[in-house]
Structure 1
Amino acid sequence: MSRQRRAFTLIELLVVIAIIAVLIALLLPAVQAAREAARRAQCTNNLKQVALGMHNYESAHGRLPPGRKGTSWGTWVIFTLPYLEQQGIFNAFNFVGNNTEGRGPYDTNFRFFGAANVTVAASRIGSLLCPSDVVTSPNERSFILGANTFYATQHNYVANFGSSVLLQPAIYPIGANATDPGAIAYAGAPFSDMGSPFVDIASVNFPPPSGGLADYAFSSFLDGISNTMLVSETVIGFNKDSRGFSWWGDGATFETYLAPNSPAPDRVNGGCSYPYQNNPPCIRLSTDQILETTFAARSRHSSGGVNAAIADGSVRFVKNSVHLSTWRALSTTKGGEIISADAF
């Protein structure tokens, strides 16, 4: 007599498939969380390297690197490159231009998108990218100069420019606007009104004149280096959006006027592409509104917050829910605020 071979019934097979699907559904969030934790750890390490580079710069020069040289002639990214093992790219940047050279071919050639600096601005610095974000193609940032098209890259880290707006309007004459001669009074002046740790050296050549920025050494941080941020995060914007465009003076900064990942819009004197994909909200300012420029710190971490490098070399993850007064206090060097150790 032949024996009948036993096999799975359709119901049993469906039950097994359902159990496997449930296990995968339970396991997938854990795997995703582990991957995000690894990405956040890499981002933290990158920010530590940036903070260490700024410390080394401060030790060598007696002051922190300039935050920016106007809008177009270099940012803290350029000045810090030798301390991020990028001496070759630093050497390729030409610092001759500044905002007093006029508006002719000479001026254009020495801007970040000019012929003298096209190689640098087209470079992508791996240590300035957060793996939680998505890297855009250089084609996202293109500039046409005559018959030539040049492409620039974007990055994820931005320098702390204080608790107000980028250009710190307290240093402007009352009633000044973007078309008044007084509206360029910030050129070469430190953003000292709000106690930002970084300055604009728009009207001088690099290196800065000795002693000119000496007050911005760590020893001048009256609030203490453990209570002051140096660098935080931004997202890389798509479709010619300015967020993450760190070769450009405005795009290399963040201000704490808005909370981390604020639903309120960034106020941008440049590319603003919103709504577009998952770009954060923004408003494109008109010419007479540029004094209102401000960028929030932003990230694409699923845990809801941003990493911030503190001036003592530590990196803290600051939740979106941080109290706004605490967040703003962390951006000043001379505000005299008292910040609890568990406040952020």
Structure 2
Amino acid sequence: MPRTLIKNSSLGGLVMGGSRPVSRLGFTLIELLVVIAIIALLMALLLPAVQKVREASNKMMCGNNLKQLAIAFHHYHENYGRLPHGGKNICDTPIHPAAQANCSNRPSPNWGCCSPYNRDEWSWTYYILPFIEADNVFKQSSNTTVGRSIIKVYYCPSRRSPSLYGNWAKVDYAACAGSNQTNGIVVRKGREQTRLNVGSIPDGTSNTVMLGDKQLNINRLSQTYDDNEPYNAPGWDSEIFRVGSTSNLPGHDRDHPSYTNPDPNVGSARFGSSHPVSFNVAMTDGSVRSVTYRVNGVVWTRACARNDGQVYNLDDLIP
């Protein structure tokens, strides 16, 4: 209520002064709830935009990673006159003498898994290390030290941070083994095309996929059949290779069947990523492109094969 002021009069008496209202401090509960609701609404409107910007940044960083890897492939080619190979498994022919006993009863000459005995049988992920400022890792004498050395450029920022998974460093990118595991840019050691060079790609370097994001089950990172190998894995396993065909179309990270195991929770031979809508690939000429998950199967097969002699439109790859 208004408060009345009493003042001393100049005539010696007291007089009633004017009244003024008492100011009210703070918010009412209703006003506070309205402010909170407005803030929540603004956050709900802004969050998707922030996430979209963050993903755009992550995808650009991912593309830059692939660009660096593609350049490393070309530096390797300049030094050795060939592209890096995809390594081999322990029982792939030719078999190391120390592995003969373990491989003699296998169902086929190239049956087997896991890392080979010699480093010259390791995969491209090891051999390009000197060309991505990781020569110190390349020269380590301990296989375990190499396998546990985190190479930041091997990790997609949309999927995970550069760290150890199952005590091993990882790689989120795969080389393209073509449409049938033999007609790609990178093939495993011992195959006829192991010494492939950029001058022997009849379909053209700008038309042929060399590297790309690989599809994984992000709920099973570092587990068997999916992301289970050290990053310097031999190459025949799908951890280092991916294929592209009408039966192996790219896809977003998810639970997916393996081409070696019927369990829907494990393994993948496909390209793909944690990016929405599309994923990144590096063509053999070093250019980086986005490829839609809805790419036509025939187009994708032609993009992944280096020598099928078929023509396709590069614009058919984009989202």
Match of 1:238 in 2: 221
Could you tell me whether the CA contact under 8 Å between 1:241 and 1:273 is conserved in 2? no
Match of 2:152 in 1: 126
Paired with 1:63 and 1:340, the residues of 2 have a C-alpha distance of 28
Deviation at 1:14, TM superposition (A): 1.7
2:251 aligned to which of 261, 266, 272: 261
Paired with 2:193 and 2:44, the residues of 1 have a C-alpha distance of 60
Match of 1:57 in 2: 76
**Does the residue aligned with 1:119 lie in a helix, a strand or coil?**
helix
**Does the residue aligned with 2:128 lie in a helix, a strand or coil?**
helix
Deviation at 1:256, TM superposition (A): 1.1
Match of 2:202 in 1: 222
**Does the residue aligned with 1:44 lie in a helix, a strand or coil?**
helix
1:325 matches 2:298: yes
Q: TM-score, normalised by structure 1?
A: 0.68
CA separation of 1:26/1:66 partners in 2, compared to 1, >3 Å: closer, same or farther? same
Which amino acid is the alignment partner of residue 43 of structure 1? C
Paired with 1:212 and 1:335, the residues of 2 have a C-alpha distance of 15
**Does the residue aligned with 2:60 lie in a helix, a strand or coil?**
helix
Structure 1 segments unaligned to the other structure (5+ residues): 94-115, 141-150, 167-190, 204-210, 276-280, 283-293
Which of 1 and 2 has greater Rg? Answer: 2
Paired with 1:266 and 1:42, the residues of 2 have a C-alpha distance of 28
Could you tell me whether the CA contact under 8 Å between 2:150 and 2:164 is conserved in 1? no
Paired with 1:232 and 1:239, the residues of 2 have a C-alpha distance of 20
CA separation of 1:61/1:331 partners in 2, compared to 1, >3 Å: closer, same or farther? same
**Does the residue aligned with 2:314 lie in a helix, a strand or coil?**
coil
1:72 matches 2:115: yes
- Paired residue total: 257
1:156 matches 2:141: no
Paired with 2:164 and 2:49, the residues of 1 have a C-alpha distance of 34
Deviation at 1:4, TM superposition (A): 2.8
Deviation at 1:10, TM superposition (A): 2.5
Match of 2:41 in 1: 22
Could you tell me whether the CA contact under 8 Å between 1:240 and 1:273 is conserved in 2? no
Which amino acid is the alignment partner of residue 309 of structure 2? G
Structure 2 segments unaligned to the other structure (5+ residues): 4-19, 90-113, 117-121
Match of 2:270 in 1: 296
Q: After TM superposition, list the pairs within 5 Å mapping 1:101-250 onto structure 2.
A: 116-135=142-161, 138=164, 140=166, 151-164=167-180, 166=181, 191=182, 195-202=183-190, 213-214=194-195, 216-234=196-214, 235=216, 237-238=220-221, 240-244=223-227, 245=229, 246-248=231-233, 249=235, 250=237
Deviation at 1:213, TM superposition (A): 4.3
Deviation at 1:163, TM superposition (A): 0.9
Match of 1:96 in 2: none
**Does the residue aligned with 2:281 lie in a helix, a strand or coil?**
strand
**Does the residue aligned with 2:125 lie in a helix, a strand or coil?**
helix
What's the CA shift string for 1:129-149, capped at 9, x where partnerless?
A: 111112486462xxxxxxxxx
Paired with 1:221 and 1:68, the residues of 2 have a C-alpha distance of 20
Paired with 1:8 and 1:196, the residues of 2 have a C-alpha distance of 69
CA separation of 1:61/1:45 partners in 2, compared to 1, >3 Å: closer, same or farther? same
Could you tell me whether the CA contact under 8 Å between 1:266 and 1:295 is conserved in 2? yes
Which amino acid is the alignment partner of residue 134 of structure 2? Q
Paired with 1:27 and 1:273, the residues of 2 have a C-alpha distance of 40
Could you tell me whether the CA contact under 8 Å between 1:233 and 1:299 is conserved in 2? yes
Match of 1:339 in 2: 312
Paired with 2:290 and 2:202, the residues of 1 have a C-alpha distance of 23
Structure having greater relative contact order (Cα 8 Å, sep ≥ 6): 1
Deviates more, 1:154-163 or 1:116-125: 116-125
Could you tell me whether the CA contact under 8 Å between 2:69 and 2:132 is conserved in 1? yes
**Does the residue aligned with 1:318 lie in a helix, a strand or coil?**
strand
1:5 matches 2:23: yes
Paired with 2:280 and 2:165, the residues of 1 have a C-alpha distance of 28
Match of 2:119 in 1: none
Paired with 2:278 and 2:316, the residues of 1 have a C-alpha distance of 14
CA separation of 1:135/1:273 partners in 2, compared to 1, >3 Å: closer, same or farther? farther
CA RMSD of aligned residues (A): 2.5
Paired with 2:152 and 2:263, the residues of 1 have a C-alpha distance of 25
Deviation at 1:198, TM superposition (A): 1.5
Deviates more, 1:33-42 or 1:131-140: 131-140
Paired with 2:155 and 2:307, the residues of 1 have a C-alpha distance of 30
CA separation of 1:338/1:267 partners in 2, compared to 1, >3 Å: closer, same or farther? same
Deviation at 1:50, TM superposition (A): 0.1
**Does the residue aligned with 1:325 lie in a helix, a strand or coil?**
helix
Deviation at 1:219, TM superposition (A): 0.9
2:287 aligned to which of 289, 314, 327: 314
Could you tell me whether the CA contact under 8 Å between 2:250 and 2:271 is conserved in 1? yes
